[in-house]
Every structure is written in structure tokens, then in C-alpha cells.
Amino acid sequence: MTLLMMMAVVTVAIAGRRNLFAVVILFGIYSFLMATVLVALDAVDVAMTEAAVGAGISMVLFLSALHLGRNEEMKPLHKPFLPLVVAVATGAALAYGTLWLPAFSDPEAPIHQHVAQRYIAEGARETGVPNIVTAVLASYRGYDTLGEVTVVFTAGIGVIALLRRVRRRKQGGQA
């Protein structure tokens, strides 16, 4: 798929560029390409979330974090030979592992048996909601969504705890 090739090109560019602002913008492009690939794979809910979250909020946060620093460039290079070997070795091991996976879009794959068929067949009828993803997310797997909302909440209070300004009472400050 050409979209995946474009994403690969963008990723290589991110690895190579040293200007941090360019890296962040390239990451935004990568997120948009990822959202388009997800639409091509029929994952419309996920594509909307990835576009909103990846290309929206992530970019805003990256740019805010960049803005708070003094410089926007400078990433000095060493000779990254060992990490390249490690990354390629990991990739080779992963590619070797995928040889036994079912081919792309195989209807007999195990992922399509068992629970997924029940969700597709019964989901709209039992919950009254045509969007099966929302039905599974909010009703069949409601606990997972509760956990996810808690994670978002924890991240929010974590950021508050990290970036809070403490009002100093006395001149010496507090540790």
C-alpha cells in the first residue's frame, strides 16, 4: 500500500532531521497518514480518534513543550551502530514470527471466530445501538472503558502534580 510507503518515508525523515520543530510537524503528517490508512482498513472510529488525538492534541502538547525550552534545534550525532544492529535484529525476529500469521484478509483467521461473530450478530439487537464498536466499548467491555477513563484522569492529575506552581510562603522556598 502506497500510504504505508509514505509513512515509512516520513519515519525515516523523522529519524534523520535534527530540527525539532520539523520533527514535530513530520509527526503530525505521520498521524494524518496513519488515520487515512485506518480508514482504508475500515476502522472508522479508530481513524477519527487517531486523527483527533494524534494529529490534534499530541501536536499541541509537543509544540507547547517545545515552546517552553530555550532552543528548538540541536541533536548531536554519535555513531549509532549498535542501536541499528539491535533494531534490525528485532525487526528480523518479528518478521520471522509473522510468517506463521494468517495472510492479509483471510476470513478463516482465528480472529474472526468466537466472540467477534457474536458481537456482530447480536450487538445491534441486544443493545439497540447500530455502531458495534460503541456497543462493545460501552456495554460489553464497559469495565475496560472505566479503566481507560481512570487512566486519563490519572494522567491529568499527574500532569497537575508535575507542573503545579507551589506558592512560596517564606523567602527561602521549600524543597
What DSSP letter does each residue of 149-160 carry, written as one string?
Answer: HHHHHHHHHHHH
Please, what is the minimum distance in Å from the beta carbon of residue 68 to other proteins? 5
- CB-based contact 46:55 (threshold 8 Å): no
Contacts of residue 62, Cβ cutoff 8 Å, sequence gap at least 6: 24, 27
| C-alpha–C-alpha distance, residues 152 and 142, integer Å | 15
Minimum CB distance to other proteins, residue 84 (Å): 6
Contacts of residue 66, defined as CB under 8 A and 6 or more positions apart, other chains included, come to: 20, 21, 24, 72
Q: What minimum distance in Å lies between the beta carbon of 18 and other proteins?
A: 8
The angle that helices 20-40 and 44-52 make with each other, rounded to 10 degrees, is 170
Question: Whole-number minimum distance, CB 32 to other proteins, in Å?
Answer: 11
Q: Using alpha carbons only, give the angle 10, 57, 129 rounded to the nearest 5 degrees.
A: 105
Residue 125 Cβ, how far from other proteins at the closest point, in Å? 8
